[in-house]
Amino acid sequence: MGVPEILEVEMYRRAAELVVGRRARSFQTNDVIVVKDGLQIQSLVGSRVHEVSRLGKLMTIHFDDGSIDLHFGMAGRIIVDGRSPIDELVYGASSNDRWIRFSIEFEDGFLAITDPRRFSRVGMFQNANALGPDALGTDLLKRVRPRLPVRGTIKGVLLNQYVVAGLGNMLVDEILSRSAIDPRRDISTLSAPSIRKVFQEIEAVLPELLKRGGSHMGDLAAELRVPGSRCPYDGHELSRGTIAGRTTYWCPRHQK
């Protein structure tokens, strides 16, 4: 499992829905790198969860008296009542796991974040309003269009969470491969049909990979992201480079 992207966070959200209706008995907030508003979070003891929402890669647990935002960074996982929705591992009580960075204990059960790398962030940021529309929605291009920049590589545009929320490195490479568009192309050089095609692919790919089990299950799968590997569609050797600051794989034969 790689970096949690929108599909993984959606799986986390579905798992976290188990705690809707429960009251928080205590919060473990002592990891000061991961947890930003420990004292404020402690004020939610006794409060009841009424909803768990997601926007892009940001998950929010809404309590009756406030809400907590969870961002899973590069390697964060969620555990609900001892189970992880993606790792198939069963965890014991939260205090036994040294990678637990934050947890909520309820009258029955608990919700925790494990993260060996500590890039996860937990806080009461309430910054979801600034993010672009969620990539898992319909009519995406219509909702994203007012935020599309005039210039910038198409890869960088799709990675920008303020343009469209939720896409990460692997999903963007998958989407551009299926759209047959070179990730280095500047958005100003793409025709209207090409841009439509990209957003149609987003709407098609995300539900498909969610069913397959996550963002690493694309045609341009995780195991192809090594030097010397070949395009799954035409067998041409994949190119590798850094675009928008991220290691990118693309096929120079069919992506133009």
Chain residues that interact with Zn ion, rule: CB under 5 A: 231, 233-234, 251, 253-254
* Tokens encoding 187: 């958005």
Q: Residue 212 CB, nearest distance to Zn ion (Å)?
A: 20
Q: Residue 182 CB, nearest distance to Zn ion (Å)?
A: 11
Q: How many CB atoms lie within 10 A of CB 232?
A: 14
106 vs 249, which CB is nearer to Zn ion? 249
Q: Residue 238 CB, nearest distance to Zn ion (Å)?
A: 8
35 vs 231, which CB is nearer to Zn ion? 231
* Tokens encoding 146: 């007012």
Q: Residue 204 CB, nearest distance to Zn ion (Å)?
A: 18
Q: How far is it, in rounded angstroms, from Cα 206 to Cα 41?
A: 33
Residues sharing a CB contact under 8 Å with residue 51, sequence separation 6 or more, in sequence order: 20, 61, 62
48 vs 253, which CB is nearer to Zn ion? 253
139 vs 237, which CB is nearer to Zn ion? 237
Q: How far is it, in rounded angstroms, from Cα 147 to Cα 111?
A: 35
**Is 138 buried (19+), middle (13-18) or exposed (0-12) by CB count in 10 A?**
exposed
